[in-house]
Structures are given as C-alpha cells and as structure tokens.
Amino acid sequence: MPELPEVETVRRGLAPSMEGQRIVRAQVNRPDLRWPFPPRMAERLTGARVLRLGRRSKYILADLDSGETLIIHLGMSGRMLVSGDPLGQFHHVHPAPEKHDHVVFDMENGARITFNDARRFGAMDLTPTDQVAQHPLLASLGPEPLGNAFDEEYLADRLQGRAMPIKSALLDQKIVAGLGNIYVCEVLYRAGISPLLKAGQIAPARVATMVPIIRAVLAEAIKAGGSSLRDHRQTDGELGYFQHSFQAYDREGQPCLTPGCKGKISRITQTGRSTFYCKLCQR
C-alpha cells in the first residue's frame, strides 16, 4: 500500500494540473471501490474549482470552491495519472480508456486526471471542508511526521509504558500518521533499534534519535518519487526509485550495510507483515 512518500509524490504531481482549475466534467464509471462512492459524486464534482490539494497521512485532500473536500485514498493499487497537460510536463496525450479507469476528471486547462485501480481497494468521499478533520477516516490520526507537532518529546510521551514492539508502535496511525512498513523498517535500521524491542522500554534518548531519522528517510523517499515495488506510479506514469536506496527492506540474506558490521539482513513476520533488520547491529 502506498505510504506517505508515495502519496505526497502523487499530490505534488497532480497540483500543477488541478490547483486553481475547474473540473469541467467528472465521470464515475462504477458505484463503488472499497466503499460506495458518495451520492451524486459526478454531479457534485462537475463545475467545482479545486482551490487546494493537500495531504493528510495517506490521503489526498482536494478542497473545492463548492465548500466540500474530495478525500482520495489510493488503496493497494490505485494510480492517479495525468494526460494532456497544457503545461508540457507530461509527454503523452489522453490514452485510450482502460478496464480499471474508475473515475476521470477533465480539467478546464485540458488535463485529464484518471483514477485507475485494478484491485479496487481505493476510496473516495466528499465531506464539508470545515468538517474534514472530523471525518471518520481522519479524526483519529496522529500528527504528521514532517510537521511541527511531531517532535522528540511527543514521541517519547506516546511510547511511554507501551508493551507493543516499537515496529508496531510506529505503524500505529494514531501515534504518527503516514508511516508504513517500508519506511519503519528503514528508520529502525538507521537508528540501530531492534524492531522487537518493546516501545515503552526504549530510553528517551534513543527515542529522540528516531525523530530526525524519520524525517530524513521520508524526505529522501519523496525526493526519489517514492518506492515502486508493484503498483506505485508517479502521475506521469513513471516509477519511483527509492527502492534502489533500501538499506534494510527487501534485502533478506544480503550483507548489513552498517560500517564494521558482519551481519546479514534477516526477515521475520510481525503482525502479518515482513520486518527486515540486522540482528547484530539493531539492538
């Protein structure tokens, strides 16, 4: 599933073609994805101007001049592809419709935004903009890891007394929003912290070291366009390439990259997800 860097990459790719532009035609080709689409979605979107494209955790938020916000979740395989952009940033014209093109936005500048989702785990919803923070998908989320509300003191406080493994704690969206399996593995590797340690038993000084590492890993991944392992594509159809910079994730059996360490990367399963780490230097 796309994590924060992939979703932020998509948001940035959509912004030049959507922000400030009116949706001249919205086409909804099925009644639902993961959940039913909101009533009259195509009608409510057609004619609306996109004032701003934001992101909250793994959700893209399109604020409209109609007073509503379109919430977009990419799910496992969702892609937002741009074609026909008059700014010349995207080299291809509108492609022929494909089987899994479920929602299509034609913008007044000539751009077409196509939401393609083969597995149909994505979702879209419309909610009043002034109530978006209370939406069920967003209301319980923790702070953004790249925002000011996420700092060393906050993280140490939220981890205090918790018996769950630190890997699970960092994946808990109520503690910090947007982190997923790939980037938590990378963060813990760089911090030298075992994913098996109980979150509440990690000394505050070690917890503090994770905050700048989290920010650095996410910033690097965003700059690289995210990680493309199976489905993720940028809005021009190109792959992200942060997967070529993995130091732990998906490197089972390969040498540890920590200078002086002679260990190898191991893979274990935690709460149904693969964890990659070095048993020697992550303690």
**Residues with catalytic roles:** 2-3, 58, 273
3-class DSSP state of 86: coil
Q: Match 């929003």 to its residue by tokens.
A: 177
CA 44 – CA 31 distance, rounded (Å): 15
Q: Provide the CA 273 distance to its chain's centre, in angstroms.
A: 17
222: CB partners within 8 A, 6+ apart: 5, 8, 9
Q: Alpha carbon of 203 to those of 128, 152, 200, 206, 217: distances in Å?
A: 43, 12, 8, 5, 22
Alpha-carbon dihedral sign for residues 159, 165, 170, 176: negative
